[in-house]
Amino acid sequence: FVTKYADVALDHFNFVNNATFKLRYLVNDTFWNEGGPIFFYTGNEGDISLFAENTGYMWETAPEFEALVVFAEHRYYGESMPFGNKSLTDPKYSGYLSSSQALADYVDVINIVKKEFSATDSKVIAFGGSYGGMLASWMRMKYPAVITGAVAASAPIWQFTSMTPCDSYNRITSSVFAEMSPGCDRFIKRSWTSLNTVGSSDGGREWLSAEFKTCTPIKTVEDLKTFKDWLSDLYGILAMVNYPYPANFLAPLPAYPVKEVCSNFRNVGSSDKDILRSLFKGISIYFNGTGTAKCLSLVDSDKLGTESWDYQSCTEMIMPMCTDDTSTMFEKKVWDIDKVSNNCFKQFKVRPSVNLVRDLYGGKNIKWATNIIFSNGLLDPWSGGGVTYNVSKTAIAVLIPGASHHLDLRFSNPKDPVEIIEVRKYYKNVIRRWMGGWATMKKEVKTVFAAA
């Protein structure tokens, strides 16, 4: 692909100033033929190159449609930082980071691309996975004259207050571990007690720091909480990327990494330190699968734009998370919006707008939506907040048994389950229908997935 930069408005929704910044986007015209569609990826929370390298379905489908392929970066991620290093330091800089501003950026990029390639009449099909899938679906809803249809994979557009139970994500994560390796969820549940027991003293926390090789020592009870939060996030990530083949999306991981991690949790001694030694062996598959990590860092990779996402999680992306003491493998966690709000103000000088996403995009009242595929792998923790039933005749849900987080948008692989192979064929048929070519189809493909 060719890397390009578009001058887009800093604020699309006022007429006070005409300030702009440079938004990065990637273009590939290898398969493009005049009259073909534009396949447009609505970039999510990270460096756009990461998603271009992991969204193989677009690349593999483009030749058949003679499509132009475009990946647009989300503002405040990757290289698209409006104020450089100052972008998140103060609300006067960070206040332009929002989903609605990003969608307007994408409209500008599409118009620029159409002009450059004399593609005024080309139809645009939006693609996205996870938050990118949310953006793809919202873009079709908000800009139907620009976007002909959207493939929204693993898009939890209902993972918000009063739409989805706050324990949904953790319940599904626990069930993935239990299904992939019976008893693994119980081991993890037991490990929290061991962490709390050993971590209750200065000497115990020193032992934890040495045993887990943490880059920063676990010195205080607060440090121990940070470590446990990292572990909780790790388990969710492992369930998300539990692909049937080795992959390098968020980390270099083997096939079915949940099963590999859990394989270290069998026949473990009963002492707390025995349990924790086994825990370390298991999680090493994630943080040190290549054997090159010198220590365990609790700081996420910059490629995922963690700080920018933390900001969005403090403004509009308010996704409640909780769990009780008994129904999951996690420690009890209460959702406290007041605490969240205070922490957000302390970090970013902003407070959450809990219902903004619902008010902007319709919440669960989207029967008017058209031409959207909402796909969800049923082993994906985010599927609980996804659209799992048809909301209209052409805004449809596709449920994929045994699949994890947007596996359907990845490059094809010999290890792909048959359900993934068939849904990809189905998507092509739906895209042809969106483009007006459904009548020319010679035959319907038989599908073996569940369509809600």
Provide the token pair at 370.
Answer: 């058209």
DSSP-assigned states of every residue in 19-49: -EEEEEEEEE-TT--TT--EEEEE--SS-HH
Among residues 87, 191, 405, 416, the one annotated as catalytic is 405
Among residues 130, 174, 209, 404, the one annotated as catalytic is 130
CA–CA gap between residue 272 and residue 196 (Å, rounded): 10
Could you report how far apart the first and last alpha carbons of the chain are, in Å?
36
12 is an active site residue:
no
CA–CA gap between residue 23 and residue 19 (Å, rounded): 13
Provide the token pair at 314.
Answer: 């403090």
Would you call 2 exposed, middle or buried from its count of C-beta atoms within 10 A (0-12, 13-18, 19+)?
Answer: exposed
Query: How many alpha carbons fall within 13 Å on the CB side of residue 150?
Result: 30
- Residue 119: strand pairing partners: none
Provide the token pair at 438.
Answer: 């459904």
Query: How many alpha carbons fall within 13 Å on the CB side of residue 190?
Result: 18
Among residues 223, 380, 408, 416, the one annotated as catalytic is 380
Q: What 3-state DSSP class applies to 265?
A: helix
108 is an active site residue:
no
Would you call 379 exposed, middle or buried from its count of C-beta atoms within 10 A (0-12, 13-18, 19+)?
Answer: buried
Would you call 18 exposed, middle or buried from its count of C-beta atoms within 10 A (0-12, 13-18, 19+)?
Answer: exposed
405 is an active site residue:
yes
Read off φ and ψ for residue 396, nearest 5 degrees: -115, 150
As annotated, the active-site residues are: 130, 380, 405
